[in-house]
Amino acid sequence: MHLFYTPDIAADYYQLSEEESKHCIRVLRLKLGDRVQLVDGKGGFYEAEIVDEHPKRTLLKITSTQKEYGKRNHYLHIAIAPTKNMDRFEWFLEKATEIGIDEITPIICDRSERKELKTDRANKIITSAIKQSLKAYHPLLNKARSFKELIQNAQASHKYIAHCEDQQKQELKTDFVERDNYLVLIGPEGDFSEAEISLALENGFAPITLGNSRLRTETAALQACFEINYLNR
């Protein structure tokens, strides 16, 4: 059954946008009476029936509703330095959404090669990924922030920084507390600077290792995403 993202759904009937209506009727060739599924990005999962197959304003009737559909038992926030090659960063957004993530903050670091990030295209990739993976929750993509600003305003119960410096670090599973709120920092291609690492440690971030291999930025972020989801199963 085909799935549509409908963030503003609020009644028993819903009219698809012109773009989604065209996709529904012209591309998917759905007809009057066909059934579709909807998610609102806030945990609502709906089944609906086409009651008007207009190619610019398709009208749906909601036939069933589930709240907190697929709600996870923890909250995961990853703050990651955007990669110079945007394809790699977008790959991370897509795969992390499919695996399970709640919040993503691009951070600008001392060694960042990319200092700006447009979120419109990135949010479209996330939306596509929740539709692909049947997720009812849409991850929050924040605007880019400086490393220092993020560090000084971090609110998570468990805060981690993954870096490549030769210092004592622990694995994520060490003393891991399940079903909680986590924030993981992932640095740019050149890693965090020593000053940034020191600042994170001073602000309560625990240094972690993601294995013996030197991982690319997007791979390290996805590894952290996978490990935290796995440990909370």
Question: How does the average pLDDT of the chain come out, rounded?
Answer: 96
Same domain, 34 and 11: yes
**Measured CA distances, 187 to 45, 71, 113, 231 (Å):** 35, 29, 11, 23
Q: What is the CATH number of the domain that holds 208?
A: 3.40.1280.10
Note down the domain range covering 81: 75-231
Q: Write the pLDDT tens digit of every residue in 95-105.
A: 999 999 999 99
Q: What is the CATH number of the domain that holds 41?
A: 2.40.240.20
Confidence of residue 117 (pLDDT cuts 50, 70, 90): confident
Question: What's the pLDDT at 118?
Answer: 86
Confidence of residue 32 (pLDDT cuts 50, 70, 90): very high
